[in-house]
Structure 1
C-alpha cells in the first residue's frame, strides 16, 4: 500500500505539533522516522492512523479512505493485566473476529507468536510479564491483523540490545516478505541506519530531510537536529555507525546548516 502525506498538520489546542509535513512510503519499504523528543514523530503516526484530528491529506493507494488493514503499535501501551498473551494478540484481529474465534484467526496469531518467540508465554497474563515482553506482545498484536500498513512507535525502547536487533530483523523480514509499508519511530540512529531503506528526520514539527540513511545521517544533521557532536564511520560490512561525542551548547546546535 503506497502511503502519501501532503501538508499534514496537527494541533493540540494552542500547540502546533506538526507543521505541513509531506512524506511518502511504498510497499516493501522500511521508513524510519527520527528526531529529538517533541519533534512531532508520534503525532505524525497517530494522524496517519486516524487517531488525532489533522489538516492536510493522507492517501492510501491514492484514496483518502483509511483502510482497515493498519497495524498500529503506540508508544504508551495500556496493558490489561487480566488478558493472557494469546487473548491480547487475538485483539489485533478484532475487525475479523465474529461471534467466535475462527481456526484461521488462531492460526494467524500462533504464527506471529512463533515468529516473535512468544509461544511459551501464550497462556501467561500480561501483568506477569516484563515491560520488554509486553512490548513484544503488542508488536505481535499489530502484526496479527495482517496489515498492509504497519505503524510502530518506538517498538524497541524497552528491549535489550539482542532483542532490539531480533525484532528489527523480524520487522524488516516481514516488510519484505509481505510487501508491507512500514513506518517505525526510532531513537537509535545506528538502528535506523542499519535497517531503514529511507530515513525521515523531524525537528520542531517539521520534516527537515528524507532520504537513504547514508545521504541523510551525517555530522551536520546530528549537530543541527539533535544538538550533538558526532563522528561517523563504517562497520566491516560498510554500514554507517554514529558515535556521539558530546552535547553541544544550544546556540551551536542551532547554528548548524539548514536542511531542505
Structure 2
C-alpha cells in the first residue's frame, strides 16, 4: 500500500521505556480514522510521531514519502490561546504561507464559510482570550482546515466540547474528507461516536496496536474487555454498535 498513511514497525521510547511498540498498519485516504484506547495507551505519542514532533524508529510514509509539513495539519491535545488576536485573524493565520502581505476576498469568504460550518459565525471579531475552552478548540480546528491539509492529525479535538458540538465537529470533518480526499486521523475516547462517525478504527493498548479495521471488527466484546477492563453490552442502533458499560473487572 503506497497511497494513504503507512506505518512500519513504528516504535517510540522514553528513555529505556517503550511507549509505542512496533506499530504497523495502513490507512487509506478519503476517510476519518479514530485512534482509540484507554488513558496511557500511547495515543498522543503515536500521533506526535506521525506529525513529526517526536523521534521514532521504523517507517512513517504518506503516499509513499515522509509526510511533508506543508501537506500535514496537527492539533495537539492541549491548546490554550492567551493571545488577543481576533477569531478571524487566527483563522487567516492558517494560510500564512500563502497570504503574504495581502488577504483576498476569497480568503475572507473561506474563513466565513469555515466559521459557519463549525457554528462560530458572529465570533469573527472576538478576541481569542475571551472565548471558552470549547470555543477556542473549535476555532483552532477551523484554522487547521483553512490550510486544507492532505493529512490532518487531531489529538482529542473534541475533548472540551459538549455532545452536540462533538457531533457538529465530525460533520464538517466528514464533508472536508468527501470534498478533498484527505485522511483525518483523530484520537477519541467516545467509542460510540467513533463507531458511528468514523470509517476506520485503530485500537491501542499499552503501546501496541491490538486491532484495526471497521467498527464490527474492532469493537467486539473481547477487545473491549481486554483493553478497557470492563464488561459491556453491545447493542446495535441503525447498524452501529452502542457500547453500554455494565461493570469493571
Query: What TM-score do you get using the length of structure 2 for normalisation?
Result: 0.94
> Does 2:89 align with 1:71?
no
1:238 and 2:247 equivalent? no
Of 167, 170, 194, the residue aligned with 2:169 is: 167
Native 8 Å contact 1:60 1:67 kept in 2: no
**What residue is the counterpart of 2:111 in the other structure?**
109
Q: Given the alignment, which residue of 61, 64, 87 partners 1:85? A: 87
CA contact (8 A) 1:35 1:41 kept: yes
**Equivalent residue, structure 1, for 2:248:** 247
| 1:150 corresponds to which of 152, 158, 163 | 152
Provide the C-alpha distance between the structure 2 equivalents of 1:222 and 1:65, rounded to a whole number of angstroms.
Answer: 32
Q: Is residue 32–residue 183 contact of structure 2 (8 Å, CA) maintained in 1? A: yes
- Would you say 1:49 and 2:51 are equivalent positions? yes
Matched, 1:216 2:218: yes
Shift in Å, 1:65? 5.0
CA distance in 1, matches of 2:200, 2:236: 18
Please give the secondary structure, in 2, of the residue aligned with 1:210: strand
The two structures, once aligned, show a CA RMSD in angstroms of 1.5
Measured in 2, the distance between the counterparts of 1:59 and 1:141 equals 24
Question: CA deviation digits over 1:97-120, x for unaligned, max 9?
Answer: 313334443333222112112121
Change (3 A) 1:138 1:65: closer
Preserved contact between residue 33 and residue 200 of structure 1 (Cα < 8 Å): yes
Partner Cα distance (1:7, 1:217) in 2: 24
Q: Name the SS of the counterpart of 1:184 in structure 2.
A: strand
Check if 1:40 corresponds to 2:42: yes
- Distance in 2, matches of 1:230 and 1:94, equals 47
Runs of 5+ consecutive residues of structure 2 not aligned to the other structure: none
Gaps of 5+ in 1: 249-260
